[in-house]
Structure formats: C-alpha cells, structure tokens
Amino acid sequence: MNITILGAGVFGTALKSILDAKNHQTTFYDPFKFPDISLDQALAGAEAIIIAVPSSAIPEIASGIAPFNIPAILTTKGLLNFDAFGDNPPSVLSGPIFDDMVIAKQPSTVTVTSSLAQSLFTTPWLHIELTTDALGVILCGTLKNIYAIGSGLLSAPDNYLPRTLVELKKYLEDHGADPATADLSCGIGDLTLTCTDPRSRNFQFGLNFINDPTPDTTVEGFSTLTTLPNPENYPILHAIRNIIIDHAPISNLADLIQ
C-alpha cells in the first residue's frame, strides 16, 4: 500500500519503520525536513495517510488533506475533538508507546479505531485493541498529558493514578464518549506511562515547574490547559490548570489526592 506520513519527527519516523518492515511504500510530508516536497506531491498516489504532526499543525493539515478524501489515521495527541476535520474525521491510533519502544520492538499494546489501522500496525510485538469510540481515544490521549504534568508536580504519588482515572472516566462520559475506553491501553495504559516515565516531557515539565515555571507551548499538556473548557467541573484538571497558569499553590492539588 502507498502511505503518506505527515510529519517526519521521531514518532512519524518510528511508525515508518513498522510500515517499511511490512513492505508498504511510504512517503514523508514535512515542510521543515523536506521543503522540496509539497503536500500535493506527497499525497499523489497515496492510499492512506498517517498524521503524526503536533496538535498545533492539525487545522492546516486537516484543511490540506480534505480535498483528497484519502483514509487517514491520526496519531497526534492534544486534541479535544475532531472539529478541524469537518465531515471526514480520521481514525485514531493511540496508546502507551514512545518512539524508542517502537524502534526497539518492545512488546506493547495500542488502541485503534479502524480495521485499516489494525491491519497496518499489527506486528508480532505490537498488539492492537480495536474500538469504535474514536472520541474517547483522542480525549484519553489528550487529558493524560495534563494529568502527567500534575503527576510531575507531586512527584508521582502512588494514589495519584486511581484518582485521575476516576476523573478521566467522568470527563469522557460528560463529553459523549464511553467511560470504558479509559480502561483500554489508550486510557489507563497511556496514563500510567506518561505519568510515571521520566521520558515523558509532560511529567518532566511538572517535575521541574517549581524551579522553571516558564511556559512551554511545545509541551502538549500545557497547550491544552490554556484551551480546556470548563476545567472547574473536574477538580484535578482544575487544580493543575490553576497551578500552571495562575501559579496557585501546589498544595491545592496535593490536598485532592490525600
């Protein structure tokens, strides 16, 4: 199959290694790394698209690929809805996996929302869970970044994950997704990895926040905090937002986890 990968960063490159190993023909579109290849050129002959760009680039990417009407798989985390994609939203791949885990072929599980994604990425070492709850999958992938900042702020206390999982399920239910999606790898699996693994940039941002409270828009959780609607309905998310954005005391979050 001819597949175009939008974004030649570390994760897009890691996904390419899976596709190449399965004898698919892959092409990158990345105006920073490959400025001589236009989007039209990259999509010529494409039968599927893998979206692996930062969330900030999604509106431009979504409008650019819409006229081609090619099946797309979203791997970007940091979105709260599919609005940018209009009437043709992509399927989703999400879960507890870093790029170095892909390169090392470390046994892992991810969640997908289409049979196409399942077919493309199933390997002997990568287990695929299939669900129809695409909204729940992207919400889990987005909110876990914020929760990871909170975990860093508190240095990953043992009782933090159970409390955040309860709130995550409430958020999913309130926004029309299936709370049970939080029990999949895209939910509790990704939440656990991102909230505890030192490779997580969101966790590190929270861990270092006292010494360096400089805003960092490249940290997906920070960017989401600035746009998250009605955080006051979710005490942990609200406390993290108040600490990071308004510099409230960290004790406000610690008190919720007792």
Please name each of the domains of the chain with its CATH number: 2-130 (3.40.50.720), 134-257 (1.10.1040.10)
Predicted local confidence at residue 184, as pLDDT? 98
Rg from Cα positions in the chain: 18
Give the span between the Cα atoms of 70 and 31, in whole angstroms. 20
Q: What one-letter code names the amino acid at 33?
A: K
Angstrom distances, CA of residue 26 to CA of 15, 70, 207? 10, 15, 38
| Statement: the pTM of the whole predicted model exceeds 0.75 | yes
Predicted local confidence at residue 258, as pLDDT? 81
**Listed residue (8, 196, 14, 13) closest to 105, CA to CA:** 14
Q: What percent of the chain has pLDDT over 70?
A: 100
Q: Are 50 and 6 in contact (CB under 8 A)?
A: yes
Please report, in angstroms and rounded to a whole number, the separation of the first and last CA atoms in the chain. Answer: 52
Q: What is the pLDDT of residues 154-176, one digit of tens each?
A: 998 889 999 999 999 999 999 99
Predicted local confidence at residue 108, as pLDDT? 96
Rounded to an integer, the average pLDDT of 33-48 is 96
Partners of 92 in beta bridges:
74
Give the span between the Cα atoms of 207 and 203, in whole angstroms. 6
Q: What percent of the chain has pLDDT over 90?
A: 96
Give the span between the Cα atoms of 143 and 94, in whole angstroms. 12
Angstrom distances, CA of residue 14 to CA of 41, 50, 206? 22, 12, 26
Predicted local confidence at residue 218, as pLDDT? 86
Rounded to an integer, the average pLDDT of 69-93 is 96
The conformation of residue 37, written as its DSSP 8-state character, comes to: S
Give the span between the Cα atoms of 14 and 172, in whole angstroms. 29
Residue 215 in this model has a pLDDT that exceeds 90: no
Residue 38 in this model has a pLDDT that exceeds 90: yes
The conformation of residue 187, written as its DSSP 8-state character, comes to: I
**Listed residue (83, 77, 84) closest to 137, CA to CA:** 77
Rounded to an integer, the average pLDDT of 190-218 is 94
Rounded to an integer, the average pLDDT of 66-77 is 96
